[in-house]
Amino acid sequence: MQGEDLDGNVLDMGSDPRSDQPAGEWLDIHGKRWVSTPSGEWVRLEDGGAKDKSNP
């Protein structure tokens, strides 16, 4: 979960990763979806599922 204060500071909250579970997709504070690639890199998904690595 993420929250943003009036000054634009972002606070991320979440649980510890589980060793028996893969990392899942998540939404950032702006509603953008992120997924992990097989190499472990996080990439943002654009509408329609196209991966966008140029604009985090």
Q: pLDDT of 2-56, one tens digit each? A: 788 888 888 877 778 788 988 788 888 788 899 988 888 999 987 655 455 555 5
Q: How many domains does the chain have?
A: 1
In a domain, 7, yes or no: no
Quickly tell me which residue has 């604009």 as its tokens. Answer: 55
In a domain, 39, yes or no: yes
In a domain, 47, yes or no: yes
Q: How far is CA 42 from CA 6, 39, 48, 50, in A?
A: 27, 9, 17, 14
In a domain, 34, yes or no: yes
H/E run at residue 52: strand 51-52
The pLDDT of residue 55 is: 54
Helix (H, G, I), strand (E, B) or coil at 32: coil
* pTM (two decimals): 0.52
21, 32 in Cβ contact below 8 A? no
| Cα–Cα distance for residue pair 54/56, rounded to 1 Å | 6
